[in-house]
A and B are shown apart, each in its own frame.
Chain A
């Protein structure tokens, strides 16, 4: 026996082993094969090792290393094969790995909250922060401070729910404009999300309580050009690349006032039932802050200008998810809410 012959015997074993190991079908066969390959009593490797004393002394170290490397390699293959076989043979050897995973309950933010979050994220990038205000609001903040003429049909635009004293349930989030202007010096760049309330019958398209997102910018040198550019930027981010259209409108607290439409996502402007054949879908009301509003917060309207907008996220949620009836948003059926997990 020479060193070369010894190493050749090792290499032969290493070459044969993988196929033999892979071919083993059960644990009994595996045990038999292990004994045949590396078993202490009569394994092939043991037989090879038994020839080691026949080698010249100076070759034995190298031969031992070669034999050991083969041993480690074969044993690793055997171990891997064993765990595969035992996994397959537990509980009678019929584990079906296609069975479903263990689940957890999924949680979900409300679809309207998800829309508000997306809007918030876009305006955050533009430096807006979040302001809040109460839902039971003084009539002054809800109407007079916002330049609503007393006892005028403009009040009919907001069917109001009245509370004791001089409080109402706020009919829009715009009171937060005045509260913020009274509390912080310009520059102001805020978003005010929150619930508002109207005396509207609860039907497929109206709810007495619904979410609104208000935006307000007040500083020196703010113009209608900022309004158009910022809201168009928002529309492009929120709806994907789109086109906007501004048209005259009326809100007591803005002048000039403008509605912003985006190109109808269904027909891309050619007209369909969704957009009532106009090609456009109304998204938000906006305008330059009326100087009377700036003055009711004690600010100098010759120094400061600003713009504001308000939009209803529920309408977007209904359109986006194809929900036909707004009341579904309020029912709180778990099977509905679970659909919005992400």
Chain B
């Protein structure tokens, strides 16, 4: 809401500066988000008095001595015919920049020196008058800034009005607050004399007729009250200077005197008004009704709009001529030819205006206010005021006024105990101060002591409970005057969410491993038949919610590849949206961790100019590390995967026996040919239930969790005192036998003295029988109490080889 400081002063004649008003509003009412001096381009101009003047022969010029307050008279050449000795004029000293951009410099004209410029109204941008320089009547001393002398400067104060305070969407509303905060009483604006006679309204419950005009309200819920004034004999034309200036100050353009008057009332008093050309209303009739199906209307902006029965319209005897509370029609617009006017001041149902402007995709100053709520009780006053302003400004006679509908029901009273203030704010506010503060902004306070009954004024729609009154007290007193006390707090009952704790551990592990965390958008294109979709997406190509995190990471890797960055190692701990049973619905949410590796596995160094690229084994190792970070002490197992999808899944990853995710080669990545292969890991940390915790309005407290430590501590194993014995098995393994199967058999057969089995070599190719590969294992044995004898080792070796051949057909490579 743009507020003109000068306009505000016509309603509340305070003496505070605009800066003070800004600070008052921000501290007590609503934040001032913009603050702008109008005419700031004239800030360096002063007033100066002409002390001597003589004509320069054979020219229109005069040579003058001017007092600009500097102590020495300045010599100034002037081309204006009206230079008068002893008169004050606007003066631009040398160095001043004119509104048109010219910089005033010292110069010689016809042999005379000129040290500055006496200015005309047009040169200052104050009007078109160019008859000469602008004489100023003032008692101010020469040298006084022009803006301090001429009443032309103003300050535009932009107030951020939030949806609960539509009463602040007018100068009168803001003035009420300033009046309460400064103690200066409100007054009638002195802009006009209000000498116009306004006939008392002809009233009716659902219709009224007067002065040859009929008003009928068919939808009384949609339009609780409709006021109309008939003004005949107006002369549409330019607005008076003061009105143009007011509108200009709030950033609004002057259109004509009638439209400007309605705009002045909208911004001045908060109630939208609309002027119809009465001659264009068929049957001189106003009908407030729902639009009929198929009805159309060309609105003021020249657009033909399809109306629906969900919209409220103002119609004449034949067709719709305005969308109620949103915009008028082009047909009945006031033009230069208009002489008779029907001025509408009505109240419309907020929800209907809201749905109407939504269907039309059109938000106007009027709809903005109706949606939030206007002051219905002030409607008769504003009808009279509106008619008077138009007649005053555009001429004509207010022939009659009509008022259909009923006055709004008075506001419900709220019982209020001033002692509640301390309970919420921390300190008591004396009861009489509470009463004084509420009364200062128009609240009706009855009762006494701790049993008050309070009714909000008709312009406030946001007060229904006692806390609302506490807020009024708090803000009027000032938040900065409220106490500020750090008190001892009881510890909370809520344990840390385990998925948060787990996510932090995983993130720390991945960062320590050299990976970079990303926080991307979760939107994607359609990947699967049943995938959750956003019903009103901003971009159709990102209308779906991701099913997995590697989808997002792959797109981020492609972004890097497009920028020639081939060494990509990204991870995210984030949400995956599972498909639901219904079409395009969300079936659940999981918190997952995913990582993507591609390119050099470590930075190049002069000792290793081409480090190896990340491969599947790096991805497998990363999956192990992530799993151990997420589930400390758990068993992590990899199984060869059978999984369809665009990417080639290598392993599924099971943690303590249940599958948690997978390791994949990201073969579907859109990568240039210079890029290395990409690998991905994705593990589900846990589900994030969407279900209701408890039925609405109820709670379901969990029994205080007797949570022990999440992880069983590692058991200490005594360090070995005896030496180990090692031997290697180099085996010819048929291709269809997995290394894991061989290793499992070795573990089962070798006996309890086996300490470890490690693959140390694999060879495929020449010199081996077809369909086999050679794999080397190193076995370590140890007896806790004595040294193993060679014979014991040899016995185990023989037994292992025999079993391997018998069970798996695996033989020693040398055999």
Contact = CB atoms under 8 A, between A and B. Distances in A.
A299 B699 CA distance: 7
Nearest to B557: A332
A226 B486 contact: yes
B493 A145 contact: no
Contacts of A163: 532-535, 545, 585-586
Contacts of B560: 332-334
B84 interface: no
Given A127-B489, A164-B580, A188-B494, A113 B517 contact: yes
B727 interface: no
B496 A154 contact: no
A184 B490 CA distance: 14
B410 interface: no
A171 to B, nearest CB: 13
A127 B491 contact: yes
Nearest to A246: B479
Interface string A165-191: 101010000000001111111111110
B515 interface: yes
Nearest to B501: A130
Contact of A164 (B517, B582, B697): B582
Interface in A214-252: 217, 219, 223-226, 228-230, 232-233, 245-250
A295 B698 CA distance: 8
Interface in B756-812: none
A183 B701 contact: yes
B607 A224 contact: no
A72 interface: no
Contact of B567 (A108, A232, A334): A334
B649 to A, nearest CB: 24
Contacts of B426: 223-226
B199 interface: no
Contacts of B15: none
A168 to B, nearest CB: 9
Given A104-B602, A164-B532, A165-B585, A298 B489 contact: no
Contact of B518 (A157, A297, A332): A332
Which DSSP category, helix, strand, loop or mixed, fits chain B's interface? loop
Contacts of A85: none
A77 B696 CA distance: 84
Contacts of B584: 164
A183 B495 CA distance: 11
Interface string B544-555: 010000000000
Name the 4 nearest CB pairs between A and B, nearest first: A225-B426, A105-B514, A223-B426, A189-B492
Interface in B478-499: 479-480, 482-487, 489-497, 499
A290 B493 contact: no
B470 interface: yes
B692 A138 contact: yes
A187 B696 contact: no
Interface string B635-672: 00000000000000000000000000000000000000
Interface in B527-564: 532-538, 545, 556, 559-560, 563
14 contacts: A103-B603, A104-B603, A110-B519, A127-B492, A128-B492, A182-B694, A224-B424, A226-B487, A247-B27, A250-B163, A259-B31, A291-B465, A298-B694, A334-B565
B521 A199 contact: no
B30 interface: yes
B511 A107 contact: yes
A290 to B, nearest CB: 7
B79 interface: no
B737 interface: no
A183 B575 contact: no
A18 to B, nearest CB: 36
A217 B521 CA distance: 30
A209 B518 CA distance: 13
B492 A330 contact: no
B474 interface: yes
Interface stretch (A23-31, A43-51, A52-60, A200-208): A200-208
Contact of A183 (B424, B568, B693): B693
A337 interface: yes
A331 B520 CA distance: 7
A222 B545 CA distance: 40
B492 A104 contact: no
Given A140-B696, A208-B523, A247-B479, A103 B602 contact: yes
Contacts of A179: 693
Contact of B517 (A109, A131, A248): A109
Contact of A132 (B489, B493, B499): B499
Contact of A154 (B29, B163, B585): B163
A334 B570 CA distance: 8
Nearest to B534: A161
B517 A230 contact: no
Interface of A: 99-100, 102-110, 112-113, 126-138, 140, 144-145, 151-154, 156-157, 161-165, 167, 169, 179-190, 193, 195, 199-202, 207-209, 211, 217, 219, 223-226, 228-230, 232-233, 245-250, 255-259, 276-277, 288, 290-292, 295-299, 305, 329-335, 337-338
Contacts of B371: 153
A100 B607 CA distance: 10
Contact of A99 (B471, B519, B570, B606): B606
Contact of B511 (A109, A112, A277, A335): A109
B304 interface: no
A137 B471 CA distance: 30
Nearest to B597: A105
Contacts of B532: 136, 163-164
Contacts of B692: 138, 140
A331 B563 CA distance: 11
Nearest to B565: A334
B602 to A, nearest CB: 6
Interface string B147-163: 00000000000000011
B482 A224 contact: yes
Nearest to B553: A332
B423 interface: yes
B699 A181 contact: yes
A162 B500 CA distance: 26
Contacts of A288: 424, 467
Contacts of B545: 136, 163, 169
Contacts of A164: 532-533, 535, 580, 582-586
B419 to A, nearest CB: 13
Contacts of A255: 465, 467-468, 470-471
A126 B570 CA distance: 33
A151 B145 CA distance: 52
A126 B701 CA distance: 24
B482 A103 contact: no
B494 A180 contact: yes
Interface string B366-382: 00000110000000000
A230 B515 CA distance: 36
B500 A130 contact: yes
A190 B493 CA distance: 9
A153 B422 CA distance: 31
Contacts of B556: 331-332
Nearest to B372: A153
Given A132-B688, A184-B701, A246 B424 contact: no
Contacts of A161: 534-537
A132 B687 CA distance: 11
Interface in B23-45: 26-31, 33, 35
Contacts of A129: 492, 494-496
